[in-house]
Chain A
Amino acid sequence: MKQYSLRVKILAMLIIGIECFVLLAGFGYVVVTLHQSRFAKASVSRINKNNVVMGTSANLKHFYEWGANQNIIYNAE
């Protein structure tokens, strides 16, 4: 059986490690992409964009604040 030098063995292990990493990364990318696309389809169709108001404060239809010198009562019941 042929004996390889330590240097060659380390180099071989490095190459194998890089190959494994690339394969795992590729597989992970595919899984994540599939996962996200499934969710994307499920969510966007449910949003009625006509109800969305862009911007801040200028056109807030339901904005509310406490009045001056107002009593705020929390009931536990």
Chain B
Amino acid sequence: MPSQIIKSTNDDGIIAQKNYDVVKSDDVFRILIIGDSFTEGMYVAFEETYPKKLENMLNMVNPCRSFSKYEVINLGVGGYDIEYAAARVLSRGIKYNPDLVIWLLKDDDFIERAEINFDREERYIDVINNQLEGDVNKFDQYQRWISDFKYEKYLGGIVHGIVVKEQIEQESYISYYDKQSSASLRVVTALNAPIILATFRNTAPIFKARMKVWANTHKTITYFSDIPELQMGTHTFEPFDGHPNSAGHTVLAESIYRSVIGIGACSSLPSGRLA
């Protein structure tokens, strides 16, 4: 892994090497990609991210005869969950009037709900600081707090990244947040563009089931769950970080490219938009 990677945002706060015209020309097929740090391309250069690789593939093959140029706008931001990704669409995405939306979702987007976890993080950090009273030597006390957090299934577990799969797959926990997810879906579907909900083959079945339901209840949503599992060390950074490296982003780009072609995203378009 390189020691330091620097990327820049454009005038609209989007990681990109240029500004995008709000009004696009008819020959441009515009794709909006939303998601978390995988989509943002944490730790990799702009050219290595899967949205950029996807854009390059589309421009090289030109699968849509109605268009001559493909733009992939990357709205991914590290730490986003479902709700924040939808909010990002509201704040930045709508005005770009995309022809297709791709939403990469994985287990933690369902589990680590940002609004709740940030509150908890702040609360626990305050608690720890109060307990330690600034004394770094109170290590034993700190360890006890950490231990206690582990028993707080959704609080300490998430704060410290210790999320046990058996816990997160509980139906009651997930269904509790369905209402929020529905609100988020309403925002994204309001774009009136086809949406590909993309996820990994090894995503937890309960989350796949949720995505299937969304696809079945929204005619503009296509569910795609054929992204291969990223192999630790081959497709991701070693040794402990699960973020994709350049090879991992290639896997993502190739898979999502297949999904775009698979749904015939543009072949049936006479004049630039799907019905």
Contacts and interface: CB of A to CB of B under 8 A. Distances in A.
Contact of B87 (A57, A71, A73, A74): A57
Nearest to B92: A65
A64 B3 CA distance: 26
Interface in A19-74: 36, 39-40, 42-44, 46-47, 51-57, 60-74
A8 interface: no
Contact of B8 (A46, A62, A71): A71
A65 B170 contact: no
Contact of B154 (A47, A72, A76): A47
Interface in B156-197: 167, 170-173, 176, 179-180, 183-184, 186-187
Contact of B5 (A53, A55, A61, A74): A74
B11 interface: yes
Interface of A: 36, 39-40, 42-44, 46-47, 51-57, 60-77
Interface of B: 1-15, 42-43, 77, 79, 83-84, 86-88, 90-92, 114-116, 118-120, 152-155, 167, 170-173, 176, 179-180, 183-184, 186-187
16 contacts: A43-B170, A46-B153, A55-B183, A56-B83, A61-B119, A62-B119, A63-B87, A63-B114, A64-B79, A65-B13, A68-B13, A69-B8, A69-B10, A70-B13, A72-B8, A75-B4
